[in-house]
A and B are shown apart, each in its own frame.
Chain A
Amino acid sequence: MTKRKPSSPTPSPWQRRLLTDLAQLAEQHPRALQVIGRPTVDASGLATIRISLHTADVLRAEGGLALEENEELLLVLPSTELRPPWVLAPHRRFAGTPHVLEGHQLCIYLDASREWDPAGGMTAVLNRLWQWLTDAATNQFDAATALYHAVGGVLHYTLGCPTIVVREPGPHSPALTGWLTPRSEHRLDLTRRRTHAHSLRLPVLTLSHSLPYGAGGTLADLLNHIDDTHHPAKSPTTGQRGIDSYAFLRALANSARRNPQETCQYFVLAVPHRDVPTGPPFLLAGRLPTQASDRLRTATQTGTPQQLSVLPTDVREAGIEWCYLSDERPAVTTRRDAQRPTSAFHGARVHIWGCGGIGSWAAELIARAGAAHITLSDLGAPVTGGLLVRQNYDETDVGSAKATALKQRLEGIRDDLTVDVCAPPPSPALVAATQDADVIIDATVSVTVGRFLDLLAQQPGRRAVLAQMTTNTTTASLGLLTISAQDTNQGPLAIDHAVGRHVLAAPELEPYHSLWSEPEASDEIRPTRGCSVPTFHGSAADLVGVTATLVTLLGTQLRHPVSGTHLCAQPHTGVEPTHHFVPYALEPAGPSVP
C-alpha cells in the first residue's frame, strides 16, 4: 500500500484570473514583461509568481534607486480580491530606499483602502508597480514623509501595549535616562526628568544608523540589528555617533536594576532616517515583558553584561513588546488646524465671561485651538441635569459651579493650558482684563455685563479685542458676534445698538430681526413646571454648531479686527444670507432721539 502524497494547494479563482491576465500581458508585451517559471501556492493560500520587468528605459535621477536593465520581482497574490497583491524584491539592493518595507517589500499601495480597486485587475497592479519603480528611480519619494522609513517602513506595535507620549524635544545625546509616568491604563508620558514617584526609568538611546530591516521580534534580534550586520553598505548616516548592542544592553540592565520588581523594562531608540540624517530621529519604543524584565534584573545584579551571549536564554530570546509612540515633538508635529481661522487663538490669553450654552462650548473650542491661558467667569447657578442636553457638562458636574466644572474639563483637554476662574463681571478685579487678555468674550447676554464692557472699551491703549456672542431664542441656530476692535472706544453694546438699527431697517435681513426684537411668549420655553424663568429652545447640536461658527468668525478677525457685527445662520435654517457682516461706523454726535 502506497502512502498518498497530500495535494498541493491550487490557485483560487481570483488568483487564476490574475495569473491569466499576467500571462496575456506578457504575451502582448514580451519585451517589457516576462513571467518566469510557474506560480507556487503556499499553505496559507498565497500565490507567488516571479516576473522580470525591462527597466533599462526607466528614467534615472541623482539619488534615485539604481535599477538594473531588467529587474526580477516576486508578485504575491492573496486568494481574494479584498487585499491587493504585493511585490517583493528577491535581493537586498533596495533596502533603505523610501517605501521599501523591511528591506525587500515594495510599498506600492500606501493606503490600500483608498487606492486598491480590484476591478483594475493585474493591469492596474503592474501599472502601479511601474509607477513605483519610475518614482523611485527618479528620486520622487520624499523620505521625510515616510513615517516608519527609519525602522524598515513598518509599524512596530504589539496589541495591548500602552501608547507612549513624547512631547519634549530631543534626544540630543547618544544615551540618556528618561522617565515614563503612567497617565492612564493605556498611556505613559516620556520625560527627561522624573515627575512622579511611580515613574519608571528607561534608557533613551540614539543609534548611528537606520534599521532598514526593522527592529526584529526578540531581544537578540534587536541587538543584532543594532550592530548592523546586514546594513546596506552605502549609508549616509555612517559615522554618526550612536550606541552599539553592548551599550544598549548595559543601559537596559542598569535601568532594570533600578526599577521595581514586576514591572516591564521599557526602552526608546532614536533611529535616524537614512535619507534625512539631519532631521529629528524616529523614536521606537519597546519593552521586555515583566517576567523577562525580572530575569534581567536578577541576572545582572552582580555585574554589567558584556554581551548578548552572557544573558540567560529566556532573556535573550524574550519577545519584545512594541509600544505605539505618539510623537508630538515640535520638530515632527504640525498642528492639524494650523491653517484654519481658529489658529489665531494659538498662544492667546482669553477671557470667557458666561459659561452657558455658548460660553461652555466656546471655551472648549478655544482651548482646543491652542489658547495659552483661559480665564472663566460665570454669573449664574450651578450645573443642573436639565442643562446637559445642550451645555458642555456631564453628570459629574451637576451641582458644581459652571466655571469650576468647565475649568476642570478644559484642563483635561490640554496639559499646557492654564485655566483660572475669576469673579463674575462687573467686578473691579476685571478692570485690568483689557490689558492682560488678547480677547474678552462676553457670552452672558447680560445688559450689566454689556455696560461694563462699554466702560472697559474706553480704557486708553487697551490690548484686548472685545466680543459678544449670542444666539436666538427660538432655535439657537442663528448667531450674532459683535466685535469692538482696539481702535474703537465704543464697547460691543453701543456697536450692537447701532448695528441693530441698521439690521431692523434692512428687509433682506428680516430673519435676523428677531435678534433685536422682544420675544413672543411662545418663543421661549419653560422646561420644568415651576421654573420661573423661561429659557430658549436649543439642542447641543444647535449650540455647538452656532458657537463653532462664531468662534471661527472671531478667529478670522482676531489678527486684524474690525469693529462690527457678524450675523450667521446654520444651513438647516434655510435663512439667507447665511452670513452677513455689518461694519460699525461711528454715529454722528448729538442726540439720537428725535
Chain B
Amino acid sequence: MQHVNCFTTFLRDTVNLSEARLSLLAQRVEAIYQALKANPELGPLILGKKPQGSWAQRTIINPQGDKEFDADFMLHLQEVSEWAQSPKTYIDQVYAALHRHSVYKDMPHTRKCRCVQLTYANSMHVDIVPYVRLADGREVIVNRDNGEWEVTNPAGFTAWMQEKDAIANGNLRKVIRLMKYLRDHRNSFTGTRSIILTTLLGERVQHAVPLMRPGCYGNVPTTLLTIVEDLDVWMQARPVKPSIPDPSGSGLTFDHRWDQTTYAYFRARIHTHARQIRAAYDETDPDASVRLWRELFGSRFPEPARLPASSTTPAASPKFPVAPLVIAPSRRGRAG
C-alpha cells in the first residue's frame, strides 16, 4: 500500500529540515552577508548573493543525530584584475574579512577547496562560495587546491531542477529528500554525493514516462517507486561507472566525485531498495505494508492514523464526547 498520509507525516516530522531551522539558516546567511558587505576592503567588491546546493534546491534534510547540517551560498564578487593570476585570492579575502570581524573571528572558520566554511555551535555550518562573472561572460568559482577557475551554472541547475520537479508534480524534491534520508540516516550507499544522487534521480524523470504509466508521479510513494525502479533499470544496464554530466549545461561532469567502488555499492543498494519499495507498495495488508516501509525507512516511519470505528473525523478526544448514535461526518477531504 502507498500510505500517502504516512509519507506526508514522515517528511514533515522526520525528514525535512524544520521551518524554524530553515528560518535560522536564512537569518544567519543574511547576517554573514551584511558583515562581509560592511568590510571596508571586501564590501565594495560584493555584488550580491544567492543560495546554492540543497538549500537552493529545497532538498536539504535534517542531519543525523548530532551531525551538522549545512547550507551553501554563493557570494557574487566583482572581478579584480590584480587577482587574475591567483583565483584563490577571492577565498582568502573572504576568509580574511571573517577573520577580522568582531563576531565571526571567534567562530571556527576555515578555507576549503571552493569555499570558506563558518561553523556554528549548534550543529550547523555555512559554506560561503565566492563566484565571479568574468569579462568573457563565464560564471566561475574558485578551485583553491588547483589554483584554477571552475565554470559553474547554478541558475541552469535550478532551472533543470524546477523542470524535473514540475514533471513529477512537485514530488521529485520529496523523493530526493527521502533518498538522502536513506543515505544519511540508514547508512545506505554512503559515499554518493548529493549532487550525483540528485542528478541521477532527476534525470530519470521524463515527460514521456507518465504518458506510458499514467499517475506514476501522482503522489510521493508512487513517485518514489517510479524513480527508484527507473534508476535501478538504468544502473543495472551499466555495470561500469557511467559519466554523469552536469545537467545545468556547464559542460562539466561529476565523474571525479565518485569512483567505481562507490558506484558499484550504490548500484547494489539501489537494486535492493527498488525491490523493497516495490514490496511495500504492492503489499495489500495495511499492517504488513507499513512494516515493509519501516524496514526501509526505519522506525520513525509513522503508523497510519487509526480512525474511530464510528467516525471519519480525526481521533482527537473531544472534551464533550459525541453521543454514540450520532454520525459525525467530515467532508473536508472533498471539494466541489
Contact = CB atoms under 8 A, between A and B. Distances in A.
Interface of A: 354, 356-359, 443-447, 450, 469-476, 480, 493-494, 496-497, 500-501, 504, 507-508, 510-511, 513-520, 522-523, 535-536, 538, 571-575, 591-594
A518 B314 contact: yes
A511 B215 CA distance: 11
B333 A359 contact: no
27 contacts: A356-B336, A443-B336, A445-B334, A445-B335, A450-B331, A470-B331, A470-B336, A472-B335, A501-B312, A504-B307, A507-B284, A507-B285, A508-B284, A514-B333, A516-B312, A516-B330, A516-B333, A518-B313, A518-B332, A519-B332, A572-B214, A573-B214, A573-B218, A575-B215, A591-B324, A592-B324, A593-B308
B330 A518 contact: yes
A535 B314 contact: no
B329 interface: yes
Given A447-B331, A450-B329, 6 more contacts: A357-B335, A494-B327, A501-B312, A516-B312, A574-B216, A593-B311
Given A494-B327, A510-B2, A574-B215, A592 B335 contact: no
B44 interface: no
Given A496-B329, A504-B307, A507-B286, A514 B336 contact: no
Nearest 5 interchain pairs by C-beta: A574-B215, A536-B335, A574-B214, A470-B334, A358-B336
A473 B336 contact: no
Contacts of B215: 572-575
B1 interface: yes
B223 to A, nearest CB: 11
Contacts, number: 113
A517 B307 CA distance: 9
Interface in B270-298: 284-286, 289
Nearest to A469: B336
A520 B8 contact: yes
B325 interface: yes
Given A507-B284, A520-B8, A471 B334 contact: yes
A357 B336 contact: yes
Point out which of B1, B329, B334 has the most chain A C-beta atoms below 10 A from its C-beta. B334
Nearest to B11: A522
A573 B222 CA distance: 11
Interface in B296-313: 307-313
A450 B2 CA distance: 30
B334 A510 contact: no
Contacts of A574: 210, 213-216, 218, 222
A541 B2 CA distance: 26
A466 B201 CA distance: 49
Contact of A473 (B214, B310, B313, B333): B333
B64 interface: no
Nearest to B174: A522
Interface in B1-44: 1-2, 4-5, 8
B336 to A, nearest CB: 4
Point out which of A469, A494, A507 has the most chain B C-beta atoms below 10 A from its C-beta. A507
Nearest to A592: B310
Contacts of A356: 336
A572 B330 CA distance: 27
Interface of B: 1-2, 4-5, 8, 210, 213-216, 218-219, 222, 284-286, 289, 307-314, 324-325, 327, 329-336
Given A443-B336, A520-B8, A571 B214 contact: yes
Point out which of B216, B289, B308, B331 has the most chain A C-beta atoms below 10 A from its C-beta. B331
A474 B262 CA distance: 39
Nearest to B222: A574
B332 A472 contact: no
B309 A447 contact: no
A522 B8 contact: yes
Contacts of B329: 447, 450, 493, 496-497
A363 B285 CA distance: 41
Contacts of A514: 4, 333
Contacts of A471: 334-336
Contacts of B2: 510-511
B172 to A, nearest CB: 15
A501 B5 CA distance: 17
A480 B334 contact: yes
B334 A515 contact: yes
A472 B336 CA distance: 8
Contacts of B1: 507, 510
Nearest to B285: A507
Nearest to A358: B336
Contacts of B289: 507
A38 to B, nearest CB: 58
A593 B314 contact: no
A354 B2 CA distance: 33
Contacts of A573: 214-215, 218
A575 B218 contact: yes
B335 A470 contact: yes
A446 to B, nearest CB: 8
A592 B309 contact: yes
B212 to A, nearest CB: 10
Contact of A515 (B4, B219, B333): B333
A476 B284 CA distance: 25
Nearest to B311: A593
B33 to A, nearest CB: 27
B226 to A, nearest CB: 10
Contacts of A357: 335-336
Contact of A593 (B213, B324, B335): B324
A574 B335 CA distance: 20
B327 A493 contact: yes
Contact of B333 (A444, A475, A518, A572): A518
Nearest to B331: A445
Contacts of A593: 308-311, 324
B331 to A, nearest CB: 5
Contacts of A591: 324-325
Point out which of A357, A443, A517 has the most chain B C-beta atoms below 10 A from its C-beta. A517
Contacts of B222: 574
A447 B309 CA distance: 20
A523 B170 CA distance: 12
A574 B2 CA distance: 14
Contacts of B308: 593
A574 B219 CA distance: 11
A359 B335 contact: no
